[in-house]
A and B are shown apart, each in its own frame.
Chain A
């Protein structure tokens, strides 16, 4: 048993729902107890879909268990077919139905429906959401392309499939639009985009493409591997997130297609210039901690370090299936990757790394808020605000622009930081002065004492054993700008504890500062 409060991924049947919901004409019949329909609202609320996911549930109850749950399942399949007339159906069991051991595939096959009925086996006590999505998409592709011979593509103009975008995917909607537009400017035709917006019949056309562009390996890696083996298609695995990665991607695909990228292809990408402009100098070496799905974590590590100039102090993922590439990426930065799906472990790692910026999922957003560190969301799981109305890709050249803004906005910009530093003791421009528009009597609340906002876990233990501050040292500490004061306090205390210095004096502060900047 695993004690869990927060889970980064849902159970694998949620992954199957993400595939069915992404597509047209595919209906999913899920053998599941009453209550599992809660998952519908992920799609109708978080992604704000205007229709119900194409999923029917058998909704068995306790009184059914002694009786014929198999018949309940057959009826649900028949009713779903009669009502929705899908092109294809997928059938499977949720975690509870897996235990009662009806055989959804066999039961559905016995009905003799005139459409493909595809059983998906999703081991709910072993695997998770992304695995479920990858497996479901693979099974759909396998059945849709069954019996086809590898086509002769030599005479055909070069074209690609874009694989991986799903329902509930982080920025998938906009990523696909920009990557398709980029391919159009390269003069490369797109054969099929799947699963998002594809029909089951579209999947049968997948083998015609020369290459598969795997935008999100978490969802499409298994299917792309199958297509490569079965139909000899090339796999383009460079994920075009970030300026450098997008350039690499263009080079890779242009090479394959034997086209020459038109001049000025990246012309509207401002990330490079913005990053070189002097206001960004202050970003140099800012400590960043990155956690998310493997694809986004790896891509953002490159953007943060090579394209913004941050210093990477932590990199990790909850995607155990993709631990190896994340480990490799971390190693290239001299770090050990954090592979965990336990948010308490992530919280402890962030607290220990003392970053100045956290890039992560909505979970890290809350951890960072608790620790008082700026944060941006760069990966699923994300909440409703990260399914925005505006165009907001992460992939491609426009995606690089979005990334620059996303990574920079939580931080203080250069001029602002400079001014705050310069005027930190100024009577009307310091962190305890109220905003002037609130009038002369306004005061800001004092900084809460540490027990009230004490962080949990390892950090709390560290603070509990913290040395005492002398009053003049405390006063000196308050001259340090508030946004770095917490870090200065922690560093000084670590320094003092390691050397048995108690109480902390002004000298201790500057000794610690010298020590940590050495």
Chain B
């Protein structure tokens, strides 16, 4: 059931497809966002399906007093016997009484809450007033009808942007946007300091009361490729973008830092001096996984919008041959720096009709398939080596020190297949 059109986008052919999508909805973003913002709570307003999804995606994490939950809409809520606003207020009030340490409460919209047109923005304003602005209450949508997987983070961060304080003074500040692992953020801070960029903020910050300011003096750079709405919201606040490829791999990270340094007018010789050691170290570490990956053919199913930067890394730094690079959504503006580095003629696919894409995958006979957990074991059983893609969102993969770890994630399934005698 697809409207499948092949159109060239610059040097790349793009298959635009509609049909069954084997992807997560934006609610899944909660699983890593709640780890990132340590005093935030994510309250999904949805159905038992939403709760079940979070539980399935969160695995064992659900037991460590996680800061997310679902307010499950029940029959009586739909039948109008219980006023939905009152019910939501009751649930949220009880929650905050139980967790007084919470400083930021996100009301997260789902498919059911959107279809019944429950106005969570209004509910957030009402609750924030009731709580006396402690905690702050914000709303965004992580619904499957509106968001795919990592777009949940985009929706969350873009809801945060209007609440950020105005940036003081005329000095130019750098804002790095996108949830990163703490270890990656710390590495990046050290490199920014060595480069001489004085004021660097990260969005989201680790705590709700430490969110960065933003204003016309802000230059922002994306650390994740799926933040289109957040970028627009930041520009609405006067922040100016720095275009750069994603900081994946030795080359990608170097280009990312060089783009930022250029925007801050830093002497290229100094930049070179700061980056040369980590670049050399990352390149050397890549040699071993590269030996296993070079010349192998890879097929990427759409999942997180990380696929194009990953394909760029796999092709240029690991010597892999791209068969098809799927992405749930292709933001041509944000992706331009990575697209420019992709080998000419690479086959891209935006959207999905999973049965047809599986047909193409089987026909392409790739050596490695990057796909979700619903497809991975069935494809392994058909004889394909697979790398399950959700790990790429949960693992620290950005930056120089993680370049070889990132390559190893792809090399390991191939090594394992070579190893096993079963």
Q: Using a CB–CB distance below 8 Å, which chain A residues touch chain B?
A: 1-7, 9-11, 13-14, 33-42, 44-45, 48-52, 56-62, 64-65, 72, 75-76, 78-79, 83, 94-96, 99-100, 123-126, 128, 366, 370, 383, 456
Contact = CB atoms under 8 A, between A and B. Distances in A.
B62 A11 contact: no
Contacts of A123: 75
Interface string B86-119: 0110110011000000000000000110111000
Given A35-B111, A50-B381, A59-B21, A41 B71 contact: no
A229 B354 CA distance: 43
Contact of A100 (B24, B88, B115): B115
B373 A65 contact: no
Closest 3 CB pairs of A and B: A35-B25, A35-B144, A40-B374
Interface centre among A37, A49, A60 (most CB of B within 10 A): A37
A63 to B, nearest CB: 8
Interface centre among B71, B91, B374, B380 (most CB of A within 10 A): B374
Given A4-B72, A33-B145, A36-B49, A41 B373 contact: yes
Contacts of A1: 45, 71-74, 77, 82, 84, 87-88, 90-91
A33 B145 CA distance: 6
Contacts of B94: 3
B65 to A, nearest CB: 7
A366 B75 contact: no
Nearest to A41: B373
A75 B1 contact: yes
A35 B141 CA distance: 13
A3 B48 contact: no
Given A62-B145, A79-B1, 20 more contacts: A1-B87, A4-B71, A4-B72, A5-B66, A13-B49, A33-B25, A34-B25, A34-B145, A38-B28, A38-B53, A44-B375, A44-B377, A50-B377, A64-B145, A94-B49, A95-B49, A95-B111, A95-B112, A96-B47, A125-B77
A40 B22 contact: yes
Contact of B56 (A41, A64, A100, A124): A41
B70 interface: yes
A37 B62 contact: no
Contacts of A33: 25, 111, 143-145
A45 B373 contact: yes
Interface of B: 1, 19-28, 45, 47-49, 51-53, 55-57, 60, 62-63, 65-66, 68-75, 77-78, 82, 84, 87-88, 90-91, 94-95, 111-112, 114-116, 143-146, 148, 355, 372-378, 380-381
Contact of B70 (A4, A56, A61, A72): A4
Nearest to A13: B49
Contact of A83 (B25, B71, B355): B355
B296 to A, nearest CB: 23
B112 A99 contact: yes
Contacts of B25: 33-36, 38
A228 B221 CA distance: 68
A440 B86 CA distance: 64
B146 A61 contact: yes
26 contacts: A1-B72, A1-B74, A1-B90, A4-B70, A5-B51, A5-B62, A5-B68, A10-B49, A11-B49, A33-B111, A33-B143, A34-B23, A34-B25, A34-B145, A35-B27, A35-B144, A36-B144, A37-B20, A37-B374, A38-B24, A48-B377, A49-B377, A62-B146, A72-B1, A96-B47, A96-B115
Given A4-B72, A6-B55, A45-B377, A57 B20 contact: yes
Given A1-B74, A38-B53, A59-B20, A125 B374 contact: no
A38 B47 CA distance: 14
A79 B66 CA distance: 41
B301 to A, nearest CB: 12
A468 to B, nearest CB: 27
B72 A10 contact: no
Contacts of A60: 145
A75 B69 CA distance: 35
A39 B52 CA distance: 9
Contact of B355 (A3, A41, A79, A370): A79
Given A35-B144, A95-B112, A124-B47, A6 B62 contact: yes
Nearest to B95: A3
A51 B381 contact: yes
A42 B57 CA distance: 10
A58 B354 CA distance: 11
A35 B147 CA distance: 9
Contacts of B62: 5-6
Given A94-B49, A126-B75, A76 B1 contact: yes
A457 to B, nearest CB: 10
Contact of B51 (A7, A34, A59, A64): A7
A380 B337 CA distance: 49
Nearest to B92: A3
A207 to B, nearest CB: 35
Contacts of A7: 48, 51-52, 55
A214 B420 CA distance: 41
B4 to A, nearest CB: 13
Nearest to A40: B374
A10 to B, nearest CB: 4
B112 A96 contact: yes
A35 B23 contact: yes
A491 B49 CA distance: 42
Contacts of A6: 55, 62
B56 A38 contact: yes
B114 A62 contact: yes
Given A1-B87, A45-B373, A96-B111, A37 B48 contact: no
Contacts of A3: 69-72, 91, 94-95
B17 to A, nearest CB: 11
A37 B354 CA distance: 11
A64 B115 CA distance: 12
A3 B98 CA distance: 12
A341 B146 CA distance: 30
